[in-house]
Amino acid sequence: MRFLKSAVLVGCLSAFAGCGPSTVGTDNSYVDVTGTVTLPDGKPLPRGMIHFEPEVAGKGRDDQAGVVDGKFTSKMAVAKYKVAFDLQGGSSSVPAKYRRFDNDLTVEIKGGAVTIAMK
């Protein structure tokens, strides 16, 4: 019986092998990032989710982080990213164009602090 349970567990785990982003190479370096997000009026974004999409496939990986009082932290692959936002807490302060990746916001992640200012 113990062997059967182990075999089932190994089979289940094997089904998930190879899953995940296929564009993340082993040559990606990961760094700690702290960020500040400001709205067009210069005030910090009260609450939301920031999403990152690599500008070049295979250079970086899709990522996201929670923003509270204009601040976020993450561990990300070094790359240049397009940026978009989801709103939380009923906030409508983010202009609609920044809720999609086809906007003018980009950020280069190298580690350390970054500032993302909506215009």
pLDDT in tens, 34-60: 999 999 999 999 999 999 999 999 899
Question: What pLDDT score does 74 carry?
Answer: 97
DSSP 75-118: EEESEEEEEEEEE-TT---S-GGGGSSSSS-EEEE-SEEEEEE-
3-state SS, residue 60: coil
- The answer to whether 37 and 72 are in contact (CB under 8 A) is yes
Kindly indicate the confidence band of residue 19, based on its pLDDT and cuts at 50, 70 and 90: very low
Domain boundaries, the chain: 27-117
First and final CA of the chain: distance in angstroms?
63
Q: Which CATH architecture has domain 27-117?
A: Sandwich (2.60)
Rounded Cα distance, 68 and 3, in Å: 48
pLDDT tens digits, one per residue of 56-99 = 998 999 999 999 999 999 999 999 999 999 887 656 689 999 99
Kindly indicate the confidence band of residue 28, based on its pLDDT and cuts at 50, 70 and 90: confident
